[in-house]
Amino acid sequence: MSNTETLNTVLQETLYLEPEDLEANRAGKISERQKLRVRAQIRSVWLAIGCLLGITTLPLVILALIFGNTVIQLVVIILALVWASGFVRFGVGLRKQYGQVYADLDAGEAYYAEGFLKKEKRNQGRESYLGLSELWFPVPHKLYDVITEGEYALVYYMPNSKQILALEYANPVHYEEYQTI
């Protein structure tokens, strides 16, 4: 399998990219399908956070109700509040980040950058980034692994959040001749 075919497969698996999405991105738009996918991903993150908060905090509240000792009840309730406040702080950070994503989705514009690809791992290898010109984009590890550093490519992305929408290799001399991904 060629590098382009491998990249096509991984883009389909990680970004759920379809040819219609790429065409919309080339026209400077975020496809309706991409908007729906990103919004669904954000909803699933909020649902997971809510479930995790409920699952971890509810037992503390039940313990506080079971014990008749007021001191133990107070300690358990304080622990539950401290735990819940950590979730709230995390949620506030996510809300700010997702605010940028929602602004991008509402605007519906896809920007693009072109150049030679660079790869970088951050936070002790837990985060993968793709660089192009002066821009850096967080990418899934699976996509990072198949990208060839030094290849000339076009990256379509949302301007505020820098969330990658699509990527395709290109010939730096003949921009019209894309190797479609």
Better-predicted residue by pLDDT, 21 or 89: 21
pLDDT, tens digit, for every residue of 81-104?
888 888 888 888 888 888 899 999
Q: Please report the DSSP string for 69-132 in residue order.
A: -HHHHHHHHHHHHHHHHHHHHHHHHHHHHHHHHHHHHHHTB-EEEEEEEEEEEETTTTEEEEEE
Q: Where are the domains of the chain?
A: 3-29+110-179, 35-106
Residue pair 116/150 in contact (Cβ under 8 Å)? The answer is yes
In whole numbers, what is the pLDDT of the chain averaged over residues? Answer: 85
Per-residue pLDDT tens digits for 136-151:
999 988 889 888 899 8
Neighbours of 116 (CB within 10 A): 13
Separation of alpha carbons 40 and 43, rounded Å: 5
Among all chains, which residue has been given the structure tokens 């060629």?
Answer: 2
**How many alpha carbons lie under 13 Å from residue 107 in its C-beta half-sphere?**
15
Confidence of residue 107 (pLDDT cuts 50, 70, 90): very high
Angle among Cα 103, 105, 107 to the nearest 5 degrees reads: 70
Cα 155 off chain centre by: 15
Instruction: State pTM to two decimals.
Output: 0.74
- Higher-confidence residue of 29 and 8: namely 29
**63 has a pLDDT exceeding 80:** no
CATH of domain 3-29+110-179: 2.40.50
Distance CA 159, CA 181 (A): 21
12 contact partners, CB below 8 Å, separation of at least 6: 18
Q: What is the pLDDT of residue 1?
A: 53
